[in-house]
Amino acid sequence: MTGHPFSVYTHRMTRSVRRLLIVAAIALLLAGAAVAAGSWAKGVESEAVAGKAQAEAGVRSLAAMDATAAASQFASATRSFTSAKRGLGPGWFGGLASAIPWAGRQYAAASALTEIGLDGCAAGAELSRFILDASASTDATDSASRLGSILVRGHSSAEVALASLADAADRASRLATEGLTGSLARQVVSAQSAMRRLAPVLDQVRAFAPLLSYLASRDHRILVVSQDGAELRPTGGFAGSFGIIDVGPAGVRLEAYHDVYTLPMPSPRVTPPLGALMHSSFSFRDANWWIDFPTSARSMLGLWSRQAQAPVDGIIAIDTVAIGNLLAATGPVTVPGDGIFTSSNLLARLLYLVEIKRGGQTDRKNVLAALASELEKRLMGSGLAELAKSASAIVQSADAKHIQAYLGDPRAQAVVDARGWSGRVAPPVGTTDVLAVSNAMNLGSKANAAMRKAIGYEVALRPDRSADTTLTLGYAATAPYPKELPKRFRNWLRVYRAPGTVFLGVHGRVGMAQTVVEFGFPAEVRTFNLLYGQRRTETLTARVPDAIRAGVGPAARDSVAYYRLYLVRQADIEDVLTTLRVTVPPGWRVTDASARFIASGATAPLSIGSDRVSMTVPLRGDLDLQVRISAP
């Protein structure tokens, strides 16, 4: 560069000053960004806290099915979170703040929290709109179409709400409290805690999405079989009547309901399986012969086709207990000419009307069709709150296997399987012992209404990691029972065990039938008759060779293993009282134990000692018992 030296120096100084001024300006902007980010507790936080309070109020209103209040509260919360977001400044301001690590952390956390709030509000607003739309269905729309609209709208709303909540959960999972101000850190912890509480709900919605999509995609014909628990069969009772339900975008409608004896017999004749001595030919009405419901369902659907019936998309079995639970939710139902049906009088009234008052008449089961029709009217005319109560009763019944489903669509059936509603005998991964007691009446009789049953199971674990087991089954025909009805309870008893189990009492016993293998599980089989007033005890012993397996213990110094029992429930009129006791080998000790009903997730109470675990519970569902033990 040419010119006067002073001029050159001045020019250079000017450039330096210019750079210094630019740096100073940037520093001031960054300092401003830091101050703005740190001002969460002073300005932005008040809006966010207000939004959070309104959103929580909206959640409570949704739980109370007050969608009008919920919609208003979520709208107010959205305004507060939007104001908080605006208070953080434009996006470029956050970029400047990020240049200072401390300021950037505050700003990013504050921004993420406002977005989490907005996502949650979007989900709540969508669900509120769904409830309002469903409640505002016009009377001009028939009830079946209204339910179809609810189904389609519910599927759409669930997808939108799920997407918003998934975004919120993802944002919350990426937040950390390290380096945040105390107030902001507390808000992060609160948001993460809320999302953890919400996680099971998100998982459930995700799990049910394929089933909702399946039902909402097109119309389906579902075969519904009514099982009479008074004549006990492996999946819950004699399939005495059936209906066809049409479900899909067009609505939900009971297409038909008939006595099972209106179906033609299969041609050619089908040879009954082992033990099915009810008739010389096996047909749809007796095809629920296996406690594993998918096995029975495939048998039933095969015979349905062979008996010249139109194709269906799946089959649902429902028993008298499930109908009773539904009546408890909806309230009593009056059937013209047949009186009032309640949850408490259902079984006794049906026994009287069908088996005694009209016994032998061709129209004796018309009362079942009439009851189904009245229940349909009650459900179709229900508001959303009443439908929610009915849905809760249906879930309760499905958890206890009073409702079991088998659908032709693999994705939909996978949801049913995962929820524990398919009636599939499916031991959890890591199971070491299996017990499934199946009682099957093979004589036409309603004598199971008089039965009281009990299960006692003793497990003695051995040092070689096998187990000696003793199963004691108690039967007592002592409950009140109509004197006009046959009194004989003729039972085909199958006790299914884990593959490899050795049955110790089979050989040499007088009257012992045999062992069989069905749907992949070996079973010991016995038969007996019990008259009214009599009692009987069946004792079965077996050895489980691999009952104890290596596992992870609570402390590294422990040599830990575990025993895990999968106990299968058979749907029955009453929950069978079940007593379990597991004892460990001498010198070993129990370190921990847990038990839960698989479908409902409810825990079962245990008594835990140093050398044994025991429990006595009504068997309300398939049970998973885990006992963790340490070797000497």
Residue 87 lies in a domain: yes
**In the listed set 391, 419, 447, which residue is the last one of a domain according to the structure?**
419
The string of DSSP letters for 268-299 reads S--PPPTT--S-SS--GGG---SSSHHHHHHH
Residue 539 lies in a domain: yes
Burial track 385-419 (b if 16+ CB lie within 10 A, e otherwise): ebbeebeebbbbbbbbbbbbbbbebeebbebbbeb
Cβ–Cβ < 8 Å for 502, 492: no
Domain match, 174 and 67 both: yes
Domain match, 138 and 270 both: no
Does position 269 have pLDDT exceeding 50, yes or no? yes
Cβ–Cβ < 8 Å for 613, 607: yes
Domain match, 347 and 442 both: no
Give the pLDDT band (50/70/90) at residue 508. very low
Residue 609 lies in a domain: yes
Which residue(s) pair with 407 in the sheet?
314
Cis geometry, peptide bond prior to residue 268 (ω within 30 degrees of 0): yes
Residue 424 lies in a domain: no
- Paired tokens of 334: 């009056």
CATH of the domain at 231: 3.40.630
CATH of the domain at 443: 2.60.40
Domain that holds residue 402: 220-419
Q: Which residues contact 46 (CB under 8 A, 6 or more apart)?
A: none
pLDDT for position 544: 97
Domain match, 340 and 447 both: no
Give the pLDDT band (50/70/90) at residue 96. low
Residue 425 lies in a domain: no
Rounded to whole angstroms, the Cα distance separating 236 from 230 reads 9
Domain match, 43 and 134 both: yes
> 3-class DSSP state for residue 258?
strand
Domain match, 462 and 550 both: yes
Q: Which residues contact 553 (CB under 8 A, 6 or more apart)?
A: 559, 560, 591, 628, 630
Cβ–Cβ < 8 Å for 86, 94: no
Domain match, 199 and 224 both: no
Q: What's the whole-number mean pLDDT along residues 602-606? A: 96
The string of DSSP letters for 560-621 reads EEEEEEEEEPPP-SSPPEEEEEEEPPTT-EEEEEEEEETTT--B---EE-SSEEEEEEE--S
pLDDT for position 94: 55
High-pLDDT (> 70) share of the chain, %:
83
pLDDT for position 558: 54
Residue 99 lies in a domain: yes
Rounded to whole angstroms, the Cα distance separating 217 from 388 reads 22
Give the pLDDT band (50/70/90) at residue 169. confident
Least-confidence region, from 13-17, 362-366, 503-507, 526-530: 13-17
- Paired tokens of 298: 């495939």
> 3-class DSSP state for residue 529?
strand
Residue 67 lies in a domain: yes
Rounded to whole angstroms, the Cα distance separating 231 from 447 reads 7
Our CA dihedral for 600, 602, 608, 613, rounded to 10 degrees, sits at -20
Q: Which of 177, 162, 163, 168 is nearest to 77 (CA)?
A: 168
Q: What are phi and psi of 48, to 5 degrees?
A: -65, -40
Domain match, 403 and 457 both: no
Does position 92 have pLDDT exceeding 60, yes or no? no
pTM score, whole prediction = 0.80
pLDDT for position 21: 39
Domain match, 377 and 506 both: no
**In the listed set 200, 217, 234, which residue is the last one of a domain according to the structure?**
217
Does position 148 have pLDDT exceeding 80, yes or no? no
Residue 22 lies in a domain: yes
Does position 282 have pLDDT exceeding 70, yes or no? yes
pLDDT tens readout for residues 453-477 = 999 999 999 999 999 999 999 999 9
Domain match, 245 and 316 both: yes
Domain match, 299 and 159 both: no
Domain match, 211 and 340 both: no
The total number of structural domains that make up the chain = 3
pLDDT for position 494: 97
76 versus 511: the higher-pLDDT residue is 76
pLDDT tens readout for residues 423-464 = 999 999 999 999 999 999 999 899 999 999 999 999 999 999
**In the listed set 217, 240, 274, which residue is the last one of a domain according to the structure?**
217
